[in-house]
Amino acid sequence: MTHKTLVQIAKDLAAGKYSSREITQDIIADIKARDAVYNSFISLSEDLALGQADAADARIKVGNADILTGVPFAHKDLFCTQGHTTTAASKMLANFVPPYESTVGQRLLSAGAVCVGKTNMDEFAMGSSNESSFFGAVKNPWDLNAVPGGSSGGSAAAVAAGLVPAATGTDTGGSIRQPASFCNLTGIKPTYGRVSRFGIIAYASSLDQAGPMCQTAEDAAIMLNAMAGFDEQDSTSVQQETPDFTAELNLPLHGLKVGLPKEFFGPGLNPQVAECIMAAVKEIEKLGAQIIDISLPNLELSIPAYYVIAPSEASSNLSRFDGVRYGYRCDKPENLMDLYCRTRAEGFGTEVKRRIMVGTYALSEGYYDAYYVKAQRIRRLIKDDFARALSQVDVIMGPVAPTPAFDLGSNTKDPVAMYLEDIYTLSANMAGIPAMSAPAGFVNGRPVGLHIMGNYFAEAKLLNIAHQYQQVTDWHLQTPTSNNVPVSNQEKGA
Amino acid sequence: MALENADIEKIAVLARLQVTPSETNDYANSISSILSLMDQMQLVNTDGVEPLSNPHDATQRLRKDEVTCDNQREAFIAIAPATEDGLYLVPKVID
């Protein structure tokens, strides 16, 4: 099945080429055989998956199948799965079996999709390299010395390696887009509130959004169709009509206005990445788009403001891990304070503790206005920048990350260096707008993603652009195992 | 702004995290450099800019005050680390 798309698998299932049980078994066997190298999975849910596959086969047999019925996928291990461990890649939740299913998970199950397992990630989604996982780092299938990106690094590596056709991810500051960029995938972070957060372990609630990570824009649109929708159980879910995200895929791009913010092409950007992005923009221009220079003047402030707001919300969200109701509990607590302090010290990893402390400090008496409220004011400046830009252009393009995937271990000693890697992705979460990454080339064998951002609820437009781009390019079809892996754009003549 | 070890110890208590002396040192260094990154914010004039807490400027949606799901006490107690007779156990709080 390696590297078959969701669409191809759906067609094969409909044609009776194989059953859902057969492909589910194949995929699980393949993960068992090959994933030791990548470490992209934390757990497999074989029994549950085969039950779901049998139910899907029954649906297909009676002609009651949806497009995703019987199609296997993997969940980032941040989505609660009823009856199957959900760890957030933390020792704190290493044995946590949720008594309920996330809304996204429930929606995918209702569509008949088959969840084969849970993917590795940065602990509690806090990281940009998947190196903060309690279950070990994930390796990038394109280059085993490179990180897959984070925090949804396991999802990215699993799809890139051809272990599963698609996976869910979450994006609080780039955690879908950056690993998609590093692993040559198509991943989309929808508008804030488009996809329910219910049952997804919270990191920073005003920024968190879930979305799909796939091989093509068409697959991403199909996954998003199943994932999105208003949910009574998420108080920030938006009451908006959910369109068919596949409906606009084939629209021509003629007349599209594309903004290139000069701040996305500053001195910090790797020149070879810049070349890939400009080549992609040229391609979009050839499809009829008009390219316009724009400015997002407060972009750089997104880093300090994000790294106040996200840890502040995290310190509040993660206060629930107290060793009392679920999750890890320290041995022989002497008193209640000891129970809390030791449980949390032993259960959380270094980066999670650091962010909890930063957030606790930013919210503490005497510092709240200078840090938290100040960051929220800057957040509005960033939102206003996008509003101004998106009144002149339809979409904004640029790089997803300043470099291709960096080497494992290269940024782990210095948290600030790691935070600076998020420069291009944080602002979309701050503003709440949809944004995606689509494969756009390679630098020294490591993939580069094109960042496409749009106005609120414009996911269909973004997917349309990525799909049209994928009709005239073949970057998204490259796989780490294909013989013709281009070392750079030049070698491919692009 | 640079934090001293004493600041980290105070924050750790507020955050309910036990930290060892060597960790305290490491956190003082790394959190100080994070705070100096954050200090960039102070260079920007934000007078008159309203804080943004929800990207859509939305306020909390309230639901009707009615029962919407069954009692799942057994399911929730089953995943707790220490319980007795359907109650969560914690170290003695009141003498």
Question: Which residues form the domain of B16?
Answer: 5-42
Residue B19 domain-assigned? yes
Residue B48 lies in a domain: no
Q: What is the pLDDT of residues A148-168, one digit of tens each?
A: 999 999 999 999 999 999 999
Give the three-class secondary structure for A260: strand
Label the pairing between strands B83-84 and A446-454. Answer: unpaired
Q: Helix A336-347 to helix A350-362 angle, to the nearest 10 degrees?
A: 120
* Domain-embedded: residue B29: yes
Does B38 reside within a domain?
Answer: yes
Tell me the C-alpha distance between A415 and A425, whole Å. Answer: 17
Q: How many residues does chain B have?
A: 95
Q: pLDDT, tens digit, for every residue of A453-473? A: 999 999 999 999 999 999 999
Residue A1: the pLDDT is 55
Sorting pLDDT into bands at 50, 70 and 90, what band is A489? very low
Residue of A nearest to B75 (CA): A99
Contact A324 B37 (CB under 8 A): no
Residue B60 in any domain: the answer is no
CATH number at residue B36: 1.10.20.60
Q: Is the pLDDT of residue A494 over 70?
A: no
Question: H-type helices in A167-321, by residue range?
Answer: 177-182, 217-227, 271-286, 302-317
How crowded is residue A212: how many other Cβ atoms within 10 Å of its Cβ? 35
What residue ranges in A340-445 does DSSP mark as E strands? 395-399, 435-443
B62 belongs to a structural domain: no
Q: What domains sit in chain A, N to C, each tagged with a CATH number?
A: 6-256+436-492 (3.90.1300.10)
The two tokens of residue A357 are 């402390």
B positions 35-94 inside 8 Å of A (CB): 35, 37-42, 44, 46, 49-56, 58, 60-61, 63, 72, 75-76, 78-82, 88, 90-93
DSSP A303: H
Listed residue (A110, A107, A112) closest to A230, CA to CA: A107
pLDDT in tens, A276-289: 999 999 999 999 99
Question: Can you give the pLDDT at residue A260?
Answer: 98
Is-contact A100 A123, C-beta < 8 A?
no
Is B17 touching A (CB cutoff 8 A)? yes
% of chain B residues with pLDDT over 70: 99
For A173-210, letters b (16+ CB in 10 Å) and e give bbbbbbbbbbbbbbbbbbbbbbbbbbbbbbbbbbbbbb
- The count of structural domains within chain B is 1
Per-residue model confidence (pLDDT) at position A30: 97
Q: B49 burial class (0-12, 13-18, 19+ CB within 10 angstroms)?
A: middle
At A67-97, the pLDDT tens digits run 999 999 999 999 999 999 999 999 999 999 9
- With 0-12 / 13-18 / 19 or more C-beta atoms within 10 angstroms meaning exposed / middle / buried, residue A331 is exposed
pLDDT at A485 over 60: no
Across chain A, what does the average pLDDT equal?
96
Q: Which amino acid is it at A206?
A: S
Alpha-helical segments (H) within A169-301: 177-182, 217-227, 271-286
b/e A423-434 (16+ beta carbons within 10 angstroms → b): bbbbbbbbbbbb
% chain A with pLDDT above 70: 97
Q: Is the dihedral of CA A425, A426, A427, A430 positive or negative?
A: positive
Q: What is the per-residue pLDDT for A448?
A: 98
Chain-chain contact of A377 with B52 (C-beta, under 8 angstroms): yes
Contacts of B53 in chain A (CB under 8 A): 206, 376
Q: Average of pLDDT values for A9-22? A: 98
How close A46 comes to chain B (CA, Å)?
22
Distance CA B53, CA A376 (A): 6
Q: Alpha-carbon dihedral of residues A188, A189, A194, A195, nearest 10 degrees?
A: 90
Q: Which one has a higher pLDDT value, B64 or A204?
A: A204
- For chain B, residues with pLDDT lower than 50 are none
ipTM of the complex: 0.96
Counting one residue from A and one from B, how many pairs have CB atoms under 8 Å apart? 171
Question: Is B84 within the bounds of a domain?
Answer: no
- Point out the residues of A that are catalytic: 76, 151, 175
H-only helix segments in A15-61: 20-38, 46-61
8 Å CB contact between A79 and A105:
yes
pLDDT above 90: percentage of residues in chain A: 95
Q: How far is CA B90 from CA A247, A327, A429, A447, in A?
A: 55, 14, 39, 51
* Cα–Cα dist A136/A289, whole Å: 44
H helix intervals, A228-301: 271-286
Nearest to A91 by CA among A350, A318, A328: A328
Closest by Cα among A184, A402, A213, A440 to A303: A402
Residue-wise pLDDT for A345-360, tens only, equals 999 999 999 999 999 9
Confidence at residue B94, expressed as pLDDT on a 0 to 100 scale: 82
What does the alpha-carbon distance between residue A145 and residue A219 come to, in Å, rounded to a whole number? 29
Amino acid identity, position A119: T
The residue with tokens 């998970």 is A105
Most A CBs within 10 A among B5, B17, B29, hence the mutation to make, goes to B17
Query: What integer pLDDT is reported at residue A482 of this predicted model?
Result: 62
Asked if residue A484 has pLDDT above 90, the reply is no
Better-scored residue on pLDDT, A201 or A482: A201
- What is the tens place of the pLDDT at every residue in A36-58? 999 999 999 999 999 999 999 99
Asked if B8's CB is within 8 angstroms of A345's CB, the reply is: no
**In a domain? residue B31:** yes
CB count in 10 Å sphere of residue A47? 10
In this complex, is the C-beta atom of B25 within 8 Å of any C-beta atom belonging to chain A?
no
